[in-house]
Every structure is written in C-alpha cells, then in structure tokens.
Amino acid sequence: MPDLVMGIDLGTTNSAVAMITEDEPRLISNALGERLTPSVVGVDLDGHVVVGRTARELMVTHPDRCVSQFKRKMGIEWKTRLAGQSFTPEELSALILRSLKQDAEAFHGEPIDRAVITVPAYFNDDQRKATLTAGRIAGLKVERILNEPTAAALAYGFRDPGSERVLLIFDLGGGTCDVSVVDVMDGTIEVRASSGEGILGGEDFTRTMAARVLERCGQGFERAEMQSPTLVSRMLWECETAKRVLSRHDSTTVRIPDRSGRIGDDARTETITRAEFGQWTESLMARMEVPIRRALGDAGLKRPDVNEVILVGGATRMPLVVERIASMFSKPPLCGLNPDEVVALGAAVQAGLIAREASVEDLVVTDVAPFSLGINVAKTFGLERREGYFLPIIHRNTTIPVSRVQSIQTLHPNQRTISIQIYQGEARKIADNLRLGEFDVNGIPLGPAGQLVDVRFTYDLNGVLEVEATVSATRRTITHVVTRHARGLSAAEIAKAVKAMQALKTHPREEAENRFLLRRAERLFGELGADARQIIGSLLDGFEEALEGGDPAVIERHRQALKDYLDSQEPSEGDENEEPSDGRW
Ligand code: AMP
C-alpha cells in the first residue's frame, strides 16, 4: 500500500482535495457532501471559526465577520480582523487546508499529512512561500507546489499519455488567468511555456456586473462599498448568481438590495442580457488574449499548431469566454473534465507520482519557470554609467529545476561590498520588474575595479528561488533564500502560528451540516418577505430547540423540515453547475 498523499487545489473562490483511489484521481467530498469548498473563512456569532459554505452564508449577513479572496493577498503584508481576531492570508489559507485535510482523513479513516498544493503558474516567489507556510501552519508536509495549468495538463495527459499532441491550457479561475502550452508524448508531459495575468478572473466579471447594475440605479460601486458594505456584499451575491444563470440563459434579472442590504418583496429588479454582459466585460476578455499570445510566442508555436485547447477554472463556464477562445483557435475547446475539478484531479496525479502509485508510475512531468529571474546591474555607455538595468540569470520558460551562474564585477577600486538585488520580470529596467529581495556580499579583497563575484540562481521544482554569491578571489559563498517579507517564517514562528490555530474554536465536523443550515436559514430570514420570514422563524426555533435537546431523531425531523422549506424558497446554488449547460457538461 503506497503512502497517502493528497492533491489540493487551493483556489481563490473554491478549493478541493483529490487523491488516487482505485487507480483513478477522484475528488473527496467535504462534511456537507460537496466536492468544492468555498475559500471563505468567518467567525460565527458564537466565536467559532467556520469555513466553506457556512462561512459564505455568514458573509452575506455579517460581512465584517468573514473574508474571501485572501488568495489574492498571499505573499504580501496584509492582515484582517474578524470579530476581534487578527488573521494573515497564510492563516486563512491554512484554515481551508486544515478543513480539506480533515475531509481526506474522514474519507480514508487515517491521518494524512502529506500534500501537493497547486498555485497559479504566475505566483511569484513570495506567494509560493506563503503557500508553503500556509501548508505548514495547517500541519501539512507540502511535498510539492504545482502550477495549476500543469496540474490540468496532468489530469488530461494522464488519460492518454501515449498519444502525441500539443495542449493549450486556458485557466480562468476566480482571481487569476493562466495559460500553458504543453507537449504530451510517450508518457511525458512537458510544459513548454507558461504565461498569465495575475489579477484577472471570474470575480472581475461579477464585480463589473455589480458596478454596472448599481450605476443603472444611480449609485457608484466604490462609494457604495465604503458606505454600505452589506449592500455591496448582497449585490455581489446576486450578481454571482446572475452570472451563473447567464451561462445557461440569454437573460436574467437581478434584485437590487436596499441600503441595509435587504431584499424585500418590493425590491427593484434589473434585467441583464448575455449580450449586454458581453459588452460590459469586453475589456476583460481582451485581456485574456494577452497571455495566450505570449505563451504561444514563447513556445514558438502558432495557433493552428495547438491540437487541443483545454478550459480550466469555473469562469470558463461562461459561454462568452468559450466563444472567444473558440474563435481565436477556430475550434471548440475541450471540456471533458469538470473545469472546477480538473486542477485538484491533476494535483492528485502528482501526489500519486510522489506516493509511487502504480497507476501513474510511468508518467514523467516537466515544468518551466514562468518568468525571468535576475539582478540589478549598471551599464556603461561610453564614459557614462547608468544604473537600474535588469540582468536575467534564469530566463522565463526554462525547464525546472534549474541552476545558472552569472559573473558580475565590482565597479570601483577597493570596493569591499556588492549589493545583490533580486528581481523577477521581463522588463529591461528593474523599475518595471518585481523586486524579490536583496543581500550584501561583503569581504571582497582590496584591489582594482573588476573583482569577480559569481551569482548562482537555483530554482527548484516548487518554483522557489535560492541565490548564492561566491567571491572569486576567496571562494567565500553567501547563500540567500529569497524572502522579501520574511514570509518563509522561522520554525519558531510557524510553531506559534500552529498553536494559535489550534486555540481557535471550531465546531466538530459532524455538526457541519447543521451549522450550515442555521446560517443559510438566517440569511434567507434576512432576505425574504414577511410570510416566508415567519415560517423560517418558527422552523428555526424548532430546529434550535431540537439541537439543544440532543435527540438525533427529533433533530433530523426538524432539520429536514427546515431544509425542505429553504429549498422551496431558492434553488440550491450548488445545483447550478451540476447539470449539463449548453451541452458542455
Ligand atoms: P475557480 O477559482 O476555478 O473555482 O473559479 C471560480 C470562478 O468561476 C468564480 O469567479 C465563479 O463565479 C466562476 N464560476 C463558477 N461557475 C460559473 C458559471 N456557471 N458561470 C460563470 N462563472 C462561473
């Protein structure tokens, strides 16, 4: 029996865990029986931390107690306060990871602590380290950080590894857009080029819709965001649903909440058509084409060279996106696997490779560095010296792991120190690239200008960078693991974060369904009209009383009555993506 290793897709909007079972990668359901866990964390009214759908329900009624989209904050100095407690993005991600770990453990009936975690290909060094830290805080041994499009290629390549083809993976998630060009041949899955847009995803489509609809009602989105967060959070919820409905229908209506965020029986409604939504989001769709062109250019390919275009990420369910991609490639994209699940499935294949599962042992996977990495240097033009130029040491789309050396020299006589400034990006001037870190090389022997220092960049399979500088004359080496915000926390800091996490109050897993139902009922109580509120109120009273009584049969009876009524008032949102839409799924 191989060791157990999980594959985790830690998404901006949803997360999922998968493992190889019976020779196939499979998603593992959470405590609510769902395969996707919303990446939302909240502190409930009783002070317990809640995650997933329960937190997402709470977010509508109590936006100040909840946070989502924290993946966009990974790797930067940022904290949020929820009900008086402070959380970093790593801690919030760790709470999601811990919940997925518990789901996998409940499924297998034994502790599991090894994991592969996926990140957008375009995640930089800080963001990757933050993901590693989140894993460690959640009590995981992170075996590999895997690029999301590479995971998707694995999920598809796993099925028919022998047949030779070029895949283009287009991944539009909640917050990021990644593109990879991949060769599949003789059991080898080789990423040739990756590119991406860090801040472009489905959430931008939702926000654009919310902004346009509010505009129609004479309100500015940004102003509303400041003045009435509850209104905006309810509005985003409405638009999220409307966006999904527009993936199946030509038009839909959105109900406009009042200033307090309530949607009464007499709420104003606005009709939105798919064509209109297409016009509003034209600039977002034009931005999607940029990474496609760049990835193809880097791979030295033209659009007709691509045999299969694969769509990944929930936002590729939008027909507008599918049409755009189809017209770019003059062929319909492939969507054999569910786009929300394919990354987790691919992570499970990689996890299987690490665990030496027999069903995947013949696969070989290679990936690339998605951006160039280098240092700041001065250039001499005649007698004039100009500072601030980027010297790439590892060029983008080099196969990883990779280690490259570049010699630099002192500029002045008797210069004892060189400052190595590390950057990521493609621009000629460092000012336009992302600064990753800096360290000093001291102890250069006295002498004329031109003393040599060898700078070695090593980029590992996780996409984590280490820089080493060696003074040629003395052979003294200084090693620097790049950490801009000290995000690669020390062992003591991790231990402290783990302890803080354990101290958080959480509900037992078996109570998850009841907690979720309570939150959903509270939300609908706030949203619906007087008659429905009265019915929900009395069903809730009965359910709460039953929970206090502790008799399982009574609890179940009240639970079912409440659930049936809530379902009759709104379609269960999870169903939206279950059935085939437009013949695609
Ligand atoms: P992911 O990060 O891959 O889970 O993608 C999440 C994004 O997909 C969110 O912005 C969702 O709003 C979006 N999404 C999921 N289902 C649909 C759908 N049926 N139509 C449009 N967008 C969707």
DSSP letter for each residue of 394-453: E-TT-EESEEEEEEEE-SSTT---EEEEEEESS-SBGGGSEEEEEEEE--PPS-SS--EE
Q: Name the β-bridge partners of 389.
A: 377, 429
174 lines ligand 1 (CB under 6 A): yes
Print burial letters for 462-490: b (CB count within 10 Å at least 16), e (below 16): bbbbebbbbbeeeeeebebebbbeebbbe
Asked whether 6 and 114 are in contact (CB, 8 A), the reply is yes
Distance between CA 292 and CA 441 in Å, rounded? 40
Asked whether 197 and 290 are in contact (CB, 8 A), the reply is yes
Asked whether 396 and 445 are in contact (CB, 8 A), the reply is no
Distance between CA 277 and CA 115 in Å, rounded? 39
Q: Which string of DSSP letters, residue by residue, matches 47-87?
A: S-EEETHHHHHHHHH-GGGEEE-GGGGTTSS--EEETTEEE
How many angstroms separate the alpha carbon of residue 265 from the centre of ligand 1? 28
319 lines ligand 1 (CB under 6 A): no
Distance between CA 150 and CA 130 in Å, rounded? 20
Distance between CA 35 and CA 53 in Å, rounded? 11
| CA-340 nearest atom, ligand 1 | 3
**What phi, psi does 296 have (nearest 5°)?**
-65, -45
CB atoms within 10 A of CB 581: 15
Which residues fall within 8 angstroms of residue 157, CB to CB, at 6 or more apart? 167, 182, 184, 189, 363
Token representation of residue 508: 């037992």
197 lines ligand 1 (CB under 6 A): no
Successive 10-residue mean pLDDT values, the chain, 585 residues:
87 95 93 96 94 94 93 91 93 97 96 96 87 94 94 89 90 89 92 87 95 89 80 91 96 90 84 97 95 94 96 93 95 88 96 90 89 92 89 94 95 93 93 90 92 94 90 85 57 84 88 93 87 92 92 94 92 49 30
243 lines ligand 1 (CB under 6 A): yes
Q: What integer pLDDT is reported at residue 579 of this predicted model? A: 38
Q: What integer pLDDT is reported at residue 580 of this predicted model? A: 33
Query: Checking phi first, is residue 476 left (phi over 0); if not, alpha (psi -120 to 50) or beta?
Result: beta
| Pocket probe mutation, ligand 1, options 53, 178, 281, 340, max atoms within 8 Å of Cβ | 340
How many angstroms separate the alpha carbon of residue 146 from the centre of ligand 1? 21
Instruction: Considering only the C-alpha atoms of the chain, give the largest distance between any 2 of them, rounded to a whole number of Å.
Output: 88
200 lines ligand 1 (CB under 6 A): no
12 lines ligand 1 (CB under 6 A): yes
Strands lying side by side in the sheet with 373-381: 384-394, 373-381, 418-424, 434-441
Q: In 3-state terms, what secondary structure has residue 272?
A: strand
| Pocket probe mutation, ligand 1, options 9, 14, 284, 337, max atoms within 8 Å of Cβ | 14
Asked whether 128 and 145 are in contact (CB, 8 A), the reply is yes
Q: In 3-state terms, what secondary structure has residue 39?
A: coil
Q: What integer pLDDT is reported at residue 48 of this predicted model? A: 94
Determine which residue's CA is closest to atom 20 belonging to ligand 1.
244
247 lines ligand 1 (CB under 6 A): yes
Q: In 3-state terms, what secondary structure has residue 155?
A: helix
401: preceding bond cis by omega (within 30 degrees): yes
**What phi, psi does 24 have (nearest 5°)?**
-135, 145
How many angstroms separate the alpha carbon of residue 173 from the centre of ligand 1? 7
| CA-36 nearest atom, ligand 1 | 4
Token representation of residue 103: 């789901």
- Look at residues 128, 186, 198, 89 and name the one whose alpha carbon lies nearest to residue 462: 128
How many angstroms separate the alpha carbon of residue 318 from the centre of ligand 1? 8
Residues taking part in catalysis: 9, 71, 148, 171
252 lines ligand 1 (CB under 6 A): no
Asked whether 79 and 86 are in contact (CB, 8 A), the reply is yes
Determine which residue's CA is closest to atom 1 belonging to ligand 1.
173
Determine which residue's CA is closest to atom 7 belonging to ligand 1.
174
Q: What integer pLDDT is reported at residue 573 of this predicted model? A: 53
Which helix (H) or strand (E) segment holds residue 367: the answer is strand 364-368
Determine which residue's CA is closest to atom 19 belonging to ligand 1.
244
Token representation of residue 502: 């354990």
13 lines ligand 1 (CB under 6 A): yes
Determine which residue's CA is closest to atom 16 belonging to ligand 1.
314
- Look at residues 399, 348, 357, 408 and name the one whose alpha carbon lies nearest to residue 378: 408
Q: What integer pLDDT is reported at residue 322 of this predicted model? A: 95
Token representation of residue 198: 């860090």
How many angstroms separate the alpha carbon of residue 314 from the centre of ligand 1? 3
Asked whether 378 and 175 are in contact (CB, 8 A), the reply is no
244 lines ligand 1 (CB under 6 A): yes
- Look at residues 339, 341, 350, 315 and name the one whose alpha carbon lies nearest to residue 16: 341
| Pocket probe mutation, ligand 1, options 177, 204, 317, max atoms within 8 Å of Cβ | 317
314 lines ligand 1 (CB under 6 A): yes
- Look at residues 195, 190, 144 and name the one whose alpha carbon lies nearest to residue 171: 195
How many angstroms separate the alpha carbon of residue 456 from the centre of ligand 1? 41
Query: Checking phi first, is residue 439 left (phi over 0); if not, alpha (psi -120 to 50) or beta?
Result: beta
Distance between CA 556 and CA 300 in Å, rounded? 61
Which residues fall within 8 angstroms of residue 81, CB to CB, at 6 or more apart? 87
